[in-house]
Amino acid sequence: MTIDNTPRALVAISMGDPAGIGPETIVRAAASGFGGPCVVLGDVGVLRRAAGQCALQLPVTQLESAHDAWQAPPGSLAVWQPPGLGVGLAALPMGRVDARAGAAAACCIEAGARLALDGKVAALVTAPIHKEALAAAGVRHPGHTEMLQAAAGGAPVRMMLANDELRVVLVTIHVALRRAIELLDFDGVLQTLRIAHRAAAAWGSTSPRIAVAGLNPHAGEGGLFGDEELRFIGPAVLAARAEGIDAHGPFAPDTVFMRARHAPGHPGEFDLVVAMTHDHGLIPVKYLGVEHGVNVTLGLPFVRTSPDHGTAFDIAGLGRADPSSLRAALAMARRLATSAHRD
């Protein structure tokens, strides 16, 4: 069998916060097989510590460059330490906010974005970070989505959280709820619908059925409980339909997710849902099980996915981290990258 040792087959994984469970999920997934060639961007000592915490006999190989992953011994974890990565990271206390951990996580994310933008990897999968640690390190972006958007030149992007039953795309993400409502407007909703429609081709749906969740109870009840649906959400849906996008709504946000859910014996009415705010959209997906969820950034010039969970400081270092969501993120990254290459 011929081994594909080109960048289109290589997936980069950023280590995440070294004080959280990201490194543990990485070594656990590696021990059972990544499903394809991967290079971890992170600290060798941190990954070796994680293997010990999980009682794994997993060799960790330090690389001179990311593409040297092809030269790593079979069965080992290939790790590249990006320039500028801090020292002494394996000595950081587990489960605590630390500026050094935040700086290291940001360094790995930025390195992964550069590799993806330069076409040196097929996709980037990001392990969890802690937003307080990022802020403590002076990182001006609150999360992965905003960091990667900046790295890609500021192109409009959107967060999608997906599992086998439900896909949700958000109009606003990591801002206070009051600020999120202030940011909502016609252009933002219409742009989200356009991005979601274009991105759906990557998973094989050229004409996705898109449901739009309202902002207010009962989608405003004709203006009785709020007028955002009348002023700009509904008009944005109509504008999208005029462009050939199969968008519907706005629907009451307390029922639309049930209508869109694809479950055994219950085919969903829609392929994805657009939600106005972070928690409105993510609670339904996370309720179905974080171990199956994948975060996908839509609109980037490269594929980026992430597990649907955080750093879990309460269990970090105990060797109990579940790698299921990371495995799901890796599998989706490979599917999307393969589709993008085929296109």
At 160-215, the pLDDT tens digits run 998 889 999 999 988 899 999 999 999 999 999 999 999 887 777 888 999 999 99
Which secondary structure element, helix H or strand E, spans residue 306, and what is its range?
Answer: strand 303-307
Counting as low any pLDDT under 70, the low residues of the chain are 1-8, 290, 340-343
**Rounded CA separation 156/188 (Å):** 10
pTM for the model stands at 0.88
Structure tokens at 339: 């589709």
Q: Where in the chain is the domain with CATH 3.40.718.10?
A: 1-155+300-343, 164-288
**Rounded CA separation 10/6 (Å):** 7
What's 164-288's CATH class?
alpha beta
| pLDDT score at 315 | 97
pLDDT in tens, 17-32: 999 999 999 999 999 9
Q: What is the architecture, at CATH level 2, of domain 1-155+300-343?
A: 3-Layer(aba) Sandwich (3.40)
> Cβ of 272: how many Cβ atoms within 10 Å?
23
* 246, 208 Cβ separation under 8 angstroms: yes
β strands within 15-119, DSSP E: 38-41, 60-63, 77-80
CB contact at 8 A, 298 and 158? yes
**One-letter-per-residue 3-state SS of 66-82:** HHHHHHCCCCCEEEECC
